[in-house]
Amino acid sequence: DAKTTQPTSMDCAEGRAANLPCNHSTISGNEYVYWYRQIHSQGPQYIIHGLKNNETNEMASLIITEDRKSSTLILPHATLRDTAVYYCIVRVDYAGNMLTFGGGTRLMVKP
Amino acid sequence: DSGVTQTPKHLITATGQRVTLRCSPRSGDLSVYWYQQSLDQGLQFLIQYYNGEERAKGNILERFSAQQFPDLHSELNLSSLELGDSALYFCASSAGPQSSDGYTFGSGTRLTVV
């Protein structure tokens, strides 16, 4: 699976959009971009994933650049409960393929 | 409730002992994954089972072993425990052949070795 690079930490004001970047310059054509988050000591939580088109769900939006070498997770209106470590993971999507977690971005949402 | 059940939630044991952590995957999921997260460390993949068979191994110590039973629940066995084995242990399961909805993690077992 391709390696990803994320900033170690970010701050965001409550109510504002949180934009979390991820670089994956060695991504292969059949690899998806996944985002998970881990709120303190809880199990990681799936947020969203995509291949090349932008995706949106009730939690977030995922913007993938045309060359697929980077992506941005957008939390449109961050709340204090969004404070967590966010992991960007690139992997081939097939049944039974493991997730490999990197260091992630520690997002702190401040009042 | 994520649908993945891990028991026990907390476990305190002494060095040299053996413990068993249990995981029941989400209904219909065939794959079970075990991860270890030590204090302030990232999530380290340990081992994966798919429909009863070992599929992949990560950084799992020889003192650790796992299995997946016919009903698809899984157990992680940790033996000859050391202080450094204190960690959160997470189990995750993934959907069947169409895995597009990602993984589901349990709430973890916090193991403290004293």
Half-sphere exposure of A30 (CA within 13 A, CB side): 3
The token pair at A21 is 């970047």
The pLDDT score that the predictor gives to residue B97 is 46
User: Best mutation site among A6, A9, A98 for testing chain B: the one with the most B CBs within 10 Å?
Assistant: A98
The pLDDT score that the predictor gives to residue A47 is 95
User: Best mutation site among B7, B21, B55, B105 for testing chain A: the one with the most A CBs within 10 Å?
Assistant: B105
User: Which of A17-26, A87-96, B25-34 shows the highest mean pLDDT?
Assistant: A17-26
Residue B30: closest CA among chain A residues belongs to which residue? Answer: A96
- Separation CA A11–CA A106 (nearest Å): 8
In 3D space, the residue among B57, B99, B60 whose CA is nearest the CA of residue A92 turns out to be: B99
Return the bridge partners of B33, or none.
Answer: B48, B92
**Residue contact B88–A93, C-beta within 8 A:** no
pLDDT tens per residue, range A30-84: 899 999 999 988 999 999 999 998 999 999 999 999 999 999 999 999 999 999 9
Nearest Cα of chain B lies from the Cα of A98 at a distance, in angstroms, of 7
**Residue contact B101–A43, C-beta within 8 A:** no
With an 8 Å Cβ cutoff, the interface of chain A facing chain B consists of 34, 36, 38, 41-46, 49, 93-104
DSSP labels, B60-99:
--TTEEEEE-TTS-EEEEE-S--GGG-EEEEEEEE-SS--
- Separation CA A13–CA A111 (nearest Å): 6
The token pair at A28 is 């292969």
pLDDT tens per residue, range B58-105: 989 999 999 999 999 999 999 999 999 999 999 999 875 445 556 899
